[in-house]
A = this chain, B = another copy of it.
């Protein structure tokens, strides 16, 4: 079969590789119907520190079960499934506590197991990892389902990390797919006012359709002042950092209300001053999304039409052209790319 292989920083190729097979009785093999390219994939391609190392890339995919190991009970050949970006055993203390992202037997597709930017993928702990989708592989809701694998689960996690007061103000720093999904999750969580910080007009348009009420296109002190002025100096009850760089962390702290929360879902490549958090009673929360925990509910939400995160995908490529998809995201001409094997 064909799969995207990261040979070295900057060297991504689509190659013919051995087909995945059942290796453990709890495995399933899934034929990929659609895969996503994630911002962290770009970090991996660029050789930046991060979780994405390959060699077989990709941690977002939807597909059809093609084969199951002898211990798989809840899935049948032909089932349409979505996978969270990590696999997990579903049985350990971390999984039982709702934190499958910390499962010690688990790991990330594209790093600890082969990735999903391929024609097919082996899924460890298939019963505990995959979630069935009651739809056909050709269903037009599939992009919305694919968005759940990582970015919409991550946005959901950001909002689940803090209890919102009535009439809450939420600020989302970053207009990438995670930021946009955080806006959608904020609306779903009942936020009254949702600020989106970003500079890409097309993304802010998506953010508006997702429920953002206010837009901050400035940066730094000017951006901070914009939100503070608009909230009578109070700040946001919850700030979602969907970027992770130091400048975004600084913005998150600057626009958070005293007594509020900052949810880190962008992977923080920077620091937060603890004494400032202490004196201002700011809670730092969020983290690597335990996507599997949210996935069943989110699949229901998409199939029932309660949410539609599919507009985060604004570009489609074939698997053989996946490098063009990476380039489009790196150049910011695409927000997020859907890959058709």
Report if A12 contacts B (CB, 8 A).
Answer: no
Given A94-B259, A259-B94, A101-B281 contact (CB < 8 Å)? yes
Report if A28 contacts B (CB, 8 A).
Answer: no
Report if A268 contacts B (CB, 8 A).
Answer: yes
Query: Please, what's the 1-or-0 string for A39-53, where 1 marks a CB less than 8 Å from any CB in chain B?
Result: 000000000000000
Q: Whose C-beta in chain B lies nearest to the C-beta of A275? A: B268
Stretch at the interface among A59-67, A141-149, A204-212, A286-294: A286-294
Given A232-B93, A278-B287, A285-B283, A99-B264 contact (CB < 8 Å)? no
- Asked if A264 and B278 sit within 8 Å, CB to CB, the answer is yes
CB-contacts of A63-108 with B (<8 A): 93-94, 97-99, 101-102
Report if A234 contacts B (CB, 8 A).
Answer: yes
Q: Whose C-beta in chain B lies nearest to the C-beta of A289? A: B281
| Minimal beta-carbon separation of A300 from chain B (angstroms) | 23
- Asked if A281 and B290 sit within 8 Å, CB to CB, the answer is yes
Query: Please, what's the 1-or-0 string for A271-312, where 1 marks a CB less than 8 Å from any CB in chain B?
Result: 110110111111111111010000000000000000000000
Central interface residue in A161, A258, A268, by most chain B CB within 10 Å: A258
Report if A240 contacts B (CB, 8 A).
Answer: no
- Asked if A285 and B285 sit within 8 Å, CB to CB, the answer is yes
Report if A329 contacts B (CB, 8 A).
Answer: no
Central interface residue in A249, A274, A275, by most chain B CB within 10 Å: A274
| Minimal beta-carbon separation of A158 from chain B (angstroms) | 12
- Asked if B267 and A275 sit within 8 Å, CB to CB, the answer is yes
Report if A10 contacts B (CB, 8 A).
Answer: no
| Minimal beta-carbon separation of A135 from chain B (angstroms) | 31
Query: Please, what's the 1-or-0 string for A161-177, where 1 marks a CB less than 8 Å from any CB in chain B?
Result: 10100000000000000
- Asked if B274 and A249 sit within 8 Å, CB to CB, the answer is yes
A161: which B residues are within 8 A, CB to CB? 283
Contact size class for A? 35 or more
State which of B97, B232, B271, B280 has its C-beta within 8 Å of the C-beta of A274: B271
State which of B93, B163, B277 has its C-beta within 8 Å of the C-beta of A234: B93
A271: which B residues are within 8 A, CB to CB? 271, 274
Q: How far is the CA of A249 from the CA of B274 in the complex (A)?
A: 10
State which of B259, B268, B283 has its C-beta within 8 Å of the C-beta of A278: B268
Q: Whose C-beta in chain B lies nearest to the C-beta of A286? A: B278
| Minimal beta-carbon separation of A6 from chain B (angstroms) | 21
- Contacts beyond the supplied A99-B281, A282-B287, A283-B284: 18 A-B pairs with Cβ under 8 Å: A93-B233, A94-B258, A94-B259, A97-B234, A102-B258, A102-B259, A161-B283, A264-B278, A274-B284, A277-B287, A278-B286, A279-B288, A280-B287, A281-B287, A281-B288, A281-B290, A283-B283, A283-B287
Which 4 pairs between the two chains have the least Cβ-Cβ distance?
A: A281-B287, A99-B259, A102-B258, A268-B274
